[in-house]
Chains A and B, each alone.
Chain A
Amino acid sequence: MERPDFQIVPRAGIVAAAVAVVVLVVAIASNKLWPLDFLHVAGGAAWTIIDLFVGLVIGPIIGRMSIPARIEFTTRFMPKMVVIMPIVVTLTLAAGWQLGNKLGTVQSGYTNHAWVVASFIVVGVMAIVALGLLEPANIAVLIELKKPQPNPTVIERLMKRFIYSAGITGVMQIATLVIMTKIAS
């Protein structure tokens, strides 16, 4: 089985992620509305769109690809996901929490408090699926692909786990969209 050479964690991506973390820390420390709003909205939009697209569009397509095509796609796609998703999620949640504190929307006296708590629950479920299933499968499939003789059965099993997990978080992102637009209205 042939596969292109790749880095499990792209070094250029680590630099970009480090810059994003610095921007996040500065935004939280300054506690100014625009940077917090920007990071929360931009990060949240990226997170929602990537989850929906991967879970409901890319996932089923990968599932129907031939094994060699799936492996080639995976070696190009998954290393980017390793870097992009954790940083996008961190930006969204950390900036969102700080923004909620600044605006008072995370406090129990807020008018739409029940909706905010619902968003905590949705994010919590997505975090459990992402941390417990999706991320380990992502890393494991890349490490398997790095082997001189990758095992197609292992790759198949891990990719199935990745695609199903992404599908679950994709569907849950629809709930996030409903909640966030309700809170913003």
Chain B
Amino acid sequence: MSERSLPPVTELGMASLALIVAGGIYLASHLPQRVPLAPAIVLLSLSALLLAVNLSMLARVHGFPWRRFFEIARWALLVYVTTAGLIEYTFLQDQVRGGALIVLTLSLAVYAVHVPTLIGFTVARYYEPSAVAGTVA
């Protein structure tokens, strides 16, 4: 698969992760005070927008090896949903509630989808139909 035919999935993915990390740091650095959620919501929205743009651009790539992509991404999704669940569990244990919990949960959802997308993309971009590739585990 030619590199030139692929959208900047990794770059957009990293930008999206940077936005939710920034939102998380903003909320965490003000604990236990109640702070306006607007900046965190804006950062989360931009991050989710980048995720949507990334998936949409990837979906338009002709001949992208989706089977290979999903073969890898589904296992990565399992791993990152598990780690997101652990982080969510910590938030609940720490009595994070209300708007902050919603923003953090949605941020984790973006993280749990975007990281497997990056992993699946990085593997699938080097897929060559002639070579039979190995399976995970």
Chain A positions within 8 Å of B, measured between CB atoms, are: 7-9, 11, 14, 21, 24-25, 28-29, 31, 86, 90, 94, 97-98, 101, 106-108, 113, 116-117, 120-121, 124, 127-128, 131-133, 135-137, 139-140, 142-149, 151, 154, 158
Is the pair A143, B137 in contact by a Cβ cutoff of 8 Å?
A: no
Chain B residues near A31: list those with CB within 8 A: 93
Q: In chain B, what residue has the closest Cβ to A142?
A: B134
B18 partner residues in chain A, CB cutoff 8 A? 124, 128
Please, how many angstroms separate the alpha-carbon atoms of A21 and B87 in the complex? 12
Q: Note all chain A residues with C-beta closer than 8 A to B119.
A: 135-136, 139-140
Contact indicator A24/B136 (Cβ below 8 Å): no
Task: Tell which of A8, A98, A108, A144 touches B137, judged by Cβ atoms closer than 8 Å.
Answer: A8
For the A-B complex with A124-B24, A132-B17 known, give 15 more contacts whose Cβ atoms are closer than 8 Å: A8-B136, A28-B90, A29-B93, A90-B83, A101-B94, A108-B30, A120-B29, A124-B21, A127-B21, A128-B17, A131-B17, A136-B10, A136-B123, A144-B126, A154-B126
Chain A residues whose C-beta falls within 8 Å of the C-beta of B93 in the assembled complex: 28-29, 31, 98
Is A147 a contact partner of B131 (Cβ separation < 8 A)? yes
Residues in B with CB closer than 8 Å to A132 are: 10, 13-14, 17, 115, 118
Closest to B137 in A: A9
* Residues of B contacting A144 in the complex (Cβ-Cβ under 8 angstroms): 126, 133
A25–B90 alpha-carbon span in the complex (Å): 9
Shortest beta-carbon distance from B111 to chain A in Å: 8
Q: Which chain B residues have a beta carbon within 8 Å of chain A's beta carbons? A: 10, 13-14, 17-18, 21-22, 24-25, 28-33, 72, 76, 79, 82-83, 86-87, 89-90, 93-94, 111, 115, 118-119, 121-123, 126, 128, 131-137
Residue of A at shortest CB range from B119?
A136
Q: Which residue of chain A has its CB nearest to the CB of B19?
A: A128
Whether the Cβ atoms of A143 and B123 lie closer than 8 Å is yes
Q: Answer whether A121 and B25 are a contact pair too, CB < 8 Å, given A108-B33, A131-B118, A151-B128.
A: yes
Contact A148/B132 with A25-B86, A86-B79 known, Cβ cut-off 8 Å: yes
**Chain A residues, Cβ within 8 Å of B128:** 151
A94 partner, pick from B14, B28, B72, B87, beta carbons under 8 A? B87
CB distance from B7 to the nearest CB of A (A): 15
A8 touches B134 (CB 8 A): yes
CA distance A8 to B79 in the complex (A): 14
Please report the C-alpha to C-alpha distance between residue A148 and residue B130 in the assembled complex, in whole angstroms: 10
**Which of A21, A113, A147 interacts with B134 by CB under 8 Å?**
A147
Contacts of B79 in A (CB 8 A): 86
What are 15 A-to-B residue pairs whose CB atoms are below 8 Å? A7-B137, A8-B135, A8-B136, A25-B89, A94-B90, A97-B90, A106-B28, A113-B29, A117-B29, A124-B18, A136-B123, A137-B122, A139-B122, A149-B131, A158-B122
